Amino acid sequence: MIAAHDHAAFDAVETMVDHWDRPGWTAQTRAYYWMLTFPDSPALADLALRCQQHLAPLGLDPVPDDGLHITLTRVGSAAALPLSRVDDVISAAVPLLPVTFRLRAVPLAGSRGAVRLTVAPWGPVLALHSALSESMAPLGLTPRKPTALFRPHLSLAYNNRPRPAAPVIEAVASLRELAPVDLHVQEVQLVELRREDRAYRWDVVKSLPLG
């Protein structure tokens, strides 16, 4: 059901926008985020590469295999959060983390700014988002999106210019018969995020095991 909803939503998009045209982001921007990363999933990397190769004529910016991730929530600007506060963020999260869970990454949908895999079920990811939000609240840190508005996804390529969506939708639709990939989520990462050469890169500050 989630995949079908994502497919229909992307199929209704008329125009795409430049993902990188975002106020507040520069080459010097650094920010802390909670994310899920997948360095030990060759099956996910293979699926991403297969999709990216098919989409290459469109000139999208592919996500490198070591850059595949699910963004959970922004914690704050690195310039505004001293290391002592970062330690507090980590300590507050530990007792609230849910148990490990499994996800399925399903080809292929998108948004106005990206092409992405649907992830399902949402329930465990929403529970993790809620736990992280709860852990941040006593520290005066508020996620930009409440859990009720959070929509988990895993981007494979970013759109880098305004364009009609129809050619992208057509290319994406032809990849929906590819087999999904199962993911076992055992950890959540607090990272310091930056942009490099139209890609997101990060340094892991702390990787926390789920319960």
Residue spans of the domains in the chain: they are 2-209
Strand partners, 195: 200
At 60-79, the pLDDT tens digits run 999 999 999 999 999 999 99
At 137-167, the pLDDT tens digits run 999 998 889 999 999 999 999 999 999 999 9
Angle between helices 42-55 and 166-173 (to 10 degrees): 130
| Token output for 206 | 């702390």
Q: Where are the beta strands (DSSP E) in the chain?
A: 15-16, 31-37, 61-62, 69-77, 101-110, 114-120, 153-158, 163-164, 181-185, 187-195, 200-209
Give the CA dihedral 172, 175, 180, 186, nearest 10 degrees: -40
At 19-57, the pLDDT tens digits run 999 888 888 999 999 999 999 999 999 999 999 999 999
Q: Which residues contact 12 (CB under 8 A, 6 or more apart)?
A: none
At 124-139, the pLDDT tens digits run 999 999 999 999 999 9
Report which secondary-structure segment, H or E, holds 4. Answer: helix 2-11
Count of other CB atoms within 10 angstroms of residue 140: 8
Q: Which CATH superfamily is domain 2-209 in?
A: Cyclic phosphodiesterase (3.90.1140.10)
